[in-house]
């Protein structure tokens, strides 16, 4: 499929390839973003215009919406490559499969996670969040959404080719994402309460590092098992 490349060159090649393919399927990309915007925007309309209530619920609403939106796109992470045979070529290629997987996860996050990070501060204005809380919300999402993609990749690999795989992915992934949800929302709530929010962000950063080290290898093994 490709000649021998350095890890960084291989990573860049996979990311570029998946981004090009994603841009050819813009409808799929927009579906995730539109879902996120609609869920976050409907909550203020549903619960009423009470400013204090909106500010309290804003972090949880944004994080839950981001988590559910990320679930929508997990099915596309490996399915297209599985159907056209590219995934089989990746498994037998003389390249590091964990690096290939990491490139696909990074491209997935850039398409489905990064837009949520950029949109969150704008949507947070609907809840009356002050500037400092909006900044912490964006930073927490920047640290947390890659973890959602990495954990989701493991679930997507384990359920690859199974009927009803989308439901199984949700059942596998959602419980594992709860700590990210708690730390991310807790950082914004700490700012609102005048407490130190750095510890929440540090925990998110630690989870991100642990996920970046372990999930590409675990996902690669799961892909090998699913393809057997």
How many other C-beta atoms lie within 10 A of the C-beta of residue 218?
18
Residue with tokens 């009423």: 48
Q: Rounding to the nearest 10 degrees, give the CA dihedral for residues 73, 37, 106, 15.
A: 80
Question: Which residues 6+ apart lie within 8 Å of 29 measured at CB?
Answer: 22, 23, 111, 112, 115
Q: What's the pTM? A: 0.89
Residue (of 132, 121, 148, 116) closest to 187 by Cα position: 132
Burial 142-166 (b: 16+ CB within 10 A, else e): bbbbbbbbbbbbbbbbbbbeeeebb
- Which pair of structure tokens corresponds to residue 184? 């991310």
Give the residues of the chain that fall short of pLDDT 50: 1-3
- Which pair of structure tokens corresponds to residue 70? 């990320």
CA distance 56 to 83: 45
CA distance 133 to 146: 20
Per-position DSSP letters for 152-211, written without gaps between them: HHHHHHHTTT-TTHHHHHHHHHHHHHHHHHHHHHHHHHHHHTTS--HHHHHHHHHHHHHH
pLDDT value, residue 1: 44
CA distance 169 to 56: 30
């Amino acid at each position: 499929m490709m000649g021998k490349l350095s890890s960084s060159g291989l990573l860049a090649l996979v990311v570029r390839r998946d981004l090009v393919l994603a841009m050819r399927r813009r409808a799929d990309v927009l579906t995730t973003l539109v879902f996120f915007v609609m869920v976050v925007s409907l909550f203020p309309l549903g619960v009423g215009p009470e400013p204090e209530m909106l500010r309290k619920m804003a972090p949880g609403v944004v994080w839950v919406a981001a988590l559910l939106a990320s679930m929508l796109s997990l099915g596309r992470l490996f399915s297209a490559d599985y159907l056209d045979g590219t995934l089989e070529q990746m498994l037998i290629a003389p390249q590091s499969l964990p690096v290939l997987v990491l490139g696909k996860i990074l491209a997935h996050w850039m398409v489905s996670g990064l837009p949520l990070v950029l949109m969150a501060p704008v949507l947070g204005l609907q809840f009356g969040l002050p500037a400092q809380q909006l900044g912490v919300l964006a930073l927490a999402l920047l640290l947390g959404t890659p973890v959602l993609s990495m954990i989701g990749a493991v679930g997507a690999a384990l359920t690859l080719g199974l009927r009803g795989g989308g439901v199984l992915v949700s059942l596998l992934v959602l419980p594992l994402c709860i700590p990210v949800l708690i730390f991310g929302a807790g950082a914004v709530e700490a700012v609102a309460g005048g407490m130190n929010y750095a510890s929440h962000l540090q925990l998110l950063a630690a989870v991100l590092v642990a996920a970046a080290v372990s999930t590409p290898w675990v996902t690669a093994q799961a892909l090998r098992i699913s393809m057997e």
